[in-house]
Amino acid sequence: MSALDEVLARARALVDRWEDEDCGTLTVKDFCRYAAALNDTDYIREAREQEAKGAPVEAPALFLASTMSWEDGPVEQELRPDGLAARESPCTQGLPVRQVHGGQSVRLTRAPLAGTRVTASRTVTSVEYKKGRSGDFVLLGVTTRYTAPDGGELTAVDETIVVLDALAPGTDT
């Protein structure tokens, strides 16, 4: 069985099987760190002013959708050759494949507030084996829903992941 056939089999077994991850309680500090990475000093100033007044502080619009993991993350030596953490590579663990992202759609339902405990629920929604000019590949559809304790959706991300055979040794593309 080829690596792509194995990805296909693994993905088909996961379609519509949701896995939940507790993201913890969001903080103004988390929001400001994200804003600092974007050089959004206006957001940081406004968020800290709201916090000082005891007013609710909303997360930046794409905060949840932009967070790949709620863990500290792997050390560099544990990253896959394509730069992704094994955890962020559905259906590909241990296989000689690489991935590229084929697009993303984000639904911003309601802004999370600092102090909100968030759950991320993720599933494989679709899987297709394709043949292209440059070779075979698998398209994975993945959805992640971020919800508040009341079950209400905050943000949802639908993405397409393209899984390709790993590059042959000695190639650089």
Q: What tens-digit pLDDT sequence spans the chain (173 residues)?
A: 798 999 999 999 999 999 999 999 999 999 999 999 999 999 999 999 999 999 999 999 999 998 755 555 556 766 666 666 655 667 888 888 888 888 999 999 999 999 999 999 999 999 999 998 888 999 999 999 999 999 999 999 999 999 998 864 444 44
pTM for this model (two decimals):
0.83
Q: Give the pLDDT confidence score for residue 135 in this predicted structure.
A: 87
Domain assignment present for residue 137? The answer is: yes
Whole-angstrom Cα distance, residue 89 to residue 79?
10
Q: Give the pLDDT confidence score for residue 25 in this predicted structure.
A: 95
Cross-strand bridge partners of residue 11:
none
In angstroms and rounded to an integer, the radius of gyration of the C-alpha atoms of the chain is 19
Q: Give the pLDDT confidence score for residue 172 in this predicted structure.
A: 47
Domain assignment present for residue 155? The answer is: yes
Domain assignment present for residue 171? The answer is: no
Q: Which amino acid is at 68?
A: M
With 0-12 CB in 10 A as exposed, 13-18 as middle and 19+ as buried, what is 150? Answer: exposed
Number of domains forming the structure of the chain: 1
Cross-strand bridge partners of residue 24:
118
Domain assignment present for residue 170? The answer is: no
Domain assignment present for residue 103? The answer is: yes
Look up the CATH number of the domain holding residue 73: 3.10.129.10
Q: Give the pLDDT confidence score for residue 168 in this predicted structure.
A: 45
Q: Give the pLDDT confidence score for residue 93 in this predicted structure.
A: 83
Q: Which amino acid is at 76?
A: E
- How many CA atoms lie within 13 Å of 70's alpha carbon, on the beta-carbon side? 16
Provide the residue range defining the domain that includes 112.
Answer: 3-165
Domain assignment present for residue 12? The answer is: yes
Domain assignment present for residue 172? The answer is: no
Nearest alpha-carbon partner for 33 in 67, 83, 74: 67
Q: Give the pLDDT confidence score for residue 171 in this predicted structure.
A: 43
Q: Give the pLDDT confidence score for residue 167 in this predicted structure.
A: 61
Residues with Cβ within 8 Å of residue 127, at least 6 apart in sequence: 8, 11, 12, 15, 91, 138, 139, 140, 141
Q: Give the pLDDT confidence score for residue 169 in this predicted structure.
A: 44
Domain assignment present for residue 16? The answer is: yes
Whole-angstrom Cα distance, residue 5 to residue 17?
20
